[in-house]
Structure 1
Amino acid sequence: MIAYRNATAADADAVLAFWATAAEDSHRPPDSADAVRRLVARDPEALILAVDNESVVGSIIVGWDGWRCHLYRLAVAPTHRRQGIGRELVARAEAKFASYGGTRADAMVLDDNDQAHRVWSTAGYAPQPEWSRWVKAL
C-alpha cells in the first residue's frame, strides 16, 4: 500500500537515490543531500513523497513563494508507474496550493520528456508557448 507524506531531513539520501533511478536529471545542476535538507528545513511541506514499505517510490516538490505555485521533481519509480501515484502527487500538491490561496500552478517539464508530457496533460496542464525559461547558474 502506498502512503503519502512530507519528506524529512532523514529522507535526503533516500530521495537522492530515488531520483537517480526515477527522475530525469539532464539539463540541471547536480542534486545533493544538503540541498534536500535545506528545502525541508525551509518548508517542511514542500517535498511530498509516495512511500511503499519505507521505500520512496514517488516525489513532487511544491514550490510556493507567496505569489505563484510551482511544481518540480514529479517522479515515480519505474516499478510503480501507471498506478495513479503521479496523479495523486499532483492532486496533493494542488490541494496545498489551494489552501495557500494559489490561483494557477506551473510545472517544470523537459521538452523531450514525452512520458512526462502525458502525465502532465492528463492532469490538465499544457505548455505555455508565449513564455520561455531563462536560467543562470549561481
Structure 2
Amino acid sequence: MIELQIRAARPDEAEAVLAFWQESAKGTSVSDDVEGVTRLVERDPDALILALADGLIVGSVIAGWDGWRASLYRLAVLPSHRRRGISTVLLRAAEERFAALGGRRADAMVLEANETGRRLWTAAGYEREDRWRRWVKPLTG
C-alpha cells in the first residue's frame, strides 16, 4: 500500500477537489462548483475527507452528518490509484467520524449505472435498500 495522508479538505482546495472529481468520480451534482465545495467545507470542516499521496489528491469521500443521518457521497479514487485500499481507508475514516458523532447507520448515494461503485460498496459491507427512492427538487433555476 502507498503511504497516504488522510485529512479534511481546506476551503482553498475547492478547485483541486473539483478537478479530482472530474477525473475520478461518476456523475455530477448541482453543487459541483467552487462555491458549493467551499460552502461544504466552511459549514462542516471535517465532512470532506481527502486521501493524499505525495501531496496529490488520490481519494475523497464526503461524510455528511446533520445530527440525524450519516450520509456518504463522492467516494472516489484516482483511476491510476485504484485497487490499493484507498477507498477502504477513506470509508474507515468516515465511519469513525460518524461513530464519534453518535451516528447509528451510514447511507451511501450510489449511481445505478456505476457497477464498479456498487461492487465496492457491497465489498465494504453496505447493502442496497430497495424500499426507498430518492426524490429531488432543484432549489434554483
User: Into which bin does the TM-score normalised by the smaller protein fall?
Assistant: over 0.9
- Counterpart residue identity of residue 6, structure 2: Y
Query: Are the equivalent residues in 1 in contact too, given 2:61–2:74 (CA < 8 A)?
Result: yes
In structure 2, distance between residues paired with 1:102 and 1:115:
26
CA shift, 1:30, in A, is 5.6
Query: Are the equivalent residues in 2 in contact too, given 1:47–1:61 (CA < 8 A)?
Result: yes
Deviation string for 1:76-111 (max 9, x for gaps)? 000000000001101110000000111001000001
Q: Which residue of 2 aligns with 1:20?
A: 22
Deviation string for 1:102-121 (max 9, x for gaps)? 10010000011000011100
Q: Which residue of 2 aligns with 1:122?
A: 123
Q: Which residue of 2 aligns with 1:3?
A: 5
- Counterpart residue identity of residue 19, structure 2: A
In structure 2, distance between residues paired with 1:30 and 1:17:
14
Alignment pair present for 1:65 and 2:79: no
Query: Are the equivalent residues in 1 in contact too, given 2:31–2:37 (CA < 8 A)?
Result: no
Q: Which residue of 2 aligns with 1:74?
A: 75
Runs of 4+ in 1 over 2 A off after TM superposition: none
In structure 2, distance between residues paired with 1:129 and 1:118:
16
Query: Are the equivalent residues in 2 in contact too, given 1:60–1:71 (CA < 8 A)?
Result: yes
Q: Which residue of 1 aligns with 2:38?
A: 37
Alignment pair present for 1:106 and 2:107: yes
Query: Are the equivalent residues in 2 in contact too, given 1:7–1:40 (CA < 8 A)?
Result: yes
Give aligned pairs, total.
137
Distance 1:30 1:101, change over 3 A: closer
CA shift, 1:29, in A, is 2.3
Q: Give me the CA root mean square deviation.
A: 0.9
Mark the runs of 5 or more structure 2 residues left unpaired by the alignment: none
Query: Are the equivalent residues in 2 in contact too, given 1:87–1:119 (CA < 8 A)?
Result: no
What percentage of aligned pairs have identical amino acids? 52
In structure 2, distance between residues paired with 1:57 and 1:34:
22
CA shift, 1:17, in A, is 0.4
In structure 1, distance between residues paired with 2:44 and 2:22:
23
